[in-house]
Amino acid sequence: MKPIEENILLSSLTMEIDSIFIQLRKADKIIFNEINCLERSSINRLKSQSLSLVDGKRLKTSIYQMYPHRLLWDEHIIYMLENEGNNLFKLIDEYNEYLNLRQIVQDRQDYTELIQVDNQLAVATRRLGAMFYHLNSHVNLIIVLLGSATIEVEKQQVGVKNGQEYFNNRRIDPCHC
């Protein structure tokens, strides 16, 4: 794959990761406010807000477009994607399950159970957010390394081209000093 194509794929992956991370931060604030209202018995001020599921399939497609290439440079990314006990997609599924359960409990208006679900969802949200933050930093590092490598190759190619021109000029005009 050409470096420009890899940079485009990595950049689009970074944008997708950033978008999900922002979604998780908003969800965390909503859950935090909901827990505070429920614990203070302010049910009458509670606004039922729905939260969006994280699209794990779309993210997985984006990641696996790059996966066999540059993402293998980073053992932390491999761990985040392949660790059976704690991988990114397992955390996404866990988060989405809590969101679905939260919606069911909200519909039943069982506020005692909603506090419990929200507390579990808060933990799942923060774990997933931390994983996305960590993934984002490693993908950005790969982008920087790839960019540096591309610049170095371009410098070397310019140097070789200049050297060849100099050598060709010397061959054509042996008196050229």
pLDDT band at residue 41 under the 50/70/90 scheme: confident
Say yes or no to pLDDT of 81 above 60.
Answer: yes
DSSP 175: T
Phi, psi of 51 (to 5 degrees): -115, 145
Q: What's the rounded Cα separation, in Å, for the pair 35 and 75?
A: 37
**Is the separation of the CB atoms in 56 and 24 below 8 Å?**
no
pLDDT band at residue 37 under the 50/70/90 scheme: confident
pTM across the whole model:
0.75
Average pLDDT, the chain: 80
Q: How do residues 108-143 score in pLDDT, each as one tens digit? A: 988 889 999 999 999 999 999 999 999 998 888 877
How many helices (H) and strands (E) are present in the chain, helices listed first?
A: 5, 0
Say what the pLDDT of residue 165 is.
61
Higher pLDDT, 115 or 160: 115
Say what the pLDDT of residue 24 is.
95
